[in-house]
Amino acid sequence: MSIQGIGKLGGYLYYIVGDATTWFVFISGYLFYYLEANNFKYGAYLMKKVKYVILPYLILSIPVIFFWLSASQNVLYGLTPLNFMLWSLIAGGIAVGPMWFIPMIALFFTFTPAFRFLARTKAIYIVTLTFLIFSMFSSRSIYNANAFLSFLHFFGFYMLGIVAAKDAAVLERLKTETKKKIIFISILAFIFFGYFFPGMASMPNSFFNGLGLLNYILVGKLFLLIAIFFIFEQYYNRENKSLGYLARISFGLFFAHGFMAAIFAKVLKSINYIDPIVTLFAEIGVVIFVSIGIVVLVKKVLKKWSRYVIGC
């Protein structure tokens, strides 16, 4: 990310936008319970995920893996071509960085019967709180290359999403004044931990090195998530065509943005110098808006088949 070249300001910006994965994991847990819990058929659920998540992942990843093999990338890791391919698919982010998310979320898909069972018991609150605390005192794995460690790291946020959906009626009945206090305290906590965030250089470089150390970014994301959840709660039942469309193509944007980020980084290396602020805005423009354009184009060309290629 070009944000890393902005110095101290970049550190604060990273605190704000870094590890947004927590929100996607939260939304995944929320949508699982909201859409599936009362009419859940495990086989049909997994088949849907295979068709619209795993298949696009394979279609988009395998050509890139072959490209890296043609460039002898496997030799750099001391792996045979077959082992490099298997490792790339299991780890996810070796060929295209953001793809690490798919093997991790596939683990969540696999264990959905256990989550559904937990949701019927009071134990879900203990499990959620325990793993949220664990998230606050752990870090990502090296290069996000271990799906199981990522699963453990983000598990608390997935369970929080389930709890939020399960207790949606209870949360909705909270008094307006209570919600305002929650929002205010959450924003204050977000700012507080951001003020004391020691910077990107202080962040552990592996999951195990980060165990027991306070993860300021995860703490901040939790409080910001709580604030945003209650701020936008009043709009959940209102249709917004623009946001609704972005939500429908969100998985396509996920797949496209990884490629655009890689292309942007490659082009940037060939340019001697650009002001870091200009680079940041250029990256946002290229990665976000070009990705939207690509998804719209692919959907127009492939029509209903686009779901099998880009997930939407």
Chain centroid offset of residue 273 CA: 31
Residues contacting residue 79 through CB under 8 Å, at least 6 positions apart = 87
162 vs 109: CA distance, rounded Å: 13
* Selection from 204, 214, 229, 70 nearest residue 133 by Cα: 214
250 vs 312: CA distance, rounded Å: 8
User: What is the pLDDT, as a whole number, of residue 288?
Assistant: 81
Q: Can you give the three-state secondary structure of 1-64, one letter per residue?
A: CHHHHCCHHHHHHHHHHCCCHHHHHHHHHHHHHHHHHHHCCHHHHHHHHHHHHHHHHHHHHHHH
Residue owning tokens 């990256």 = 283
Both tokens of residue 191?
């700012």
User: What is the pLDDT, as a whole number, of residue 40?
Assistant: 85
| Number of neighbours of residue 156 by Cβ within 10 angstroms | 26
3 vs 262: CA distance, rounded Å: 15
The mean pLDDT values, 10 residues at a time, for the chain of 312 residues are 59 79 90 84 91 92 90 86 91 83 93 92 95 93 88 94 91 89 94 86 81 92 92 70 74 81 72 67 76 88 88 80
257 vs 252: CA distance, rounded Å: 8
190 vs 225: CA distance, rounded Å: 10
Residues contacting residue 132 through CB under 8 Å, at least 6 positions apart = 156, 157, 159, 160, 222
Q: Fill in the amino acid letter for 215.
A: N
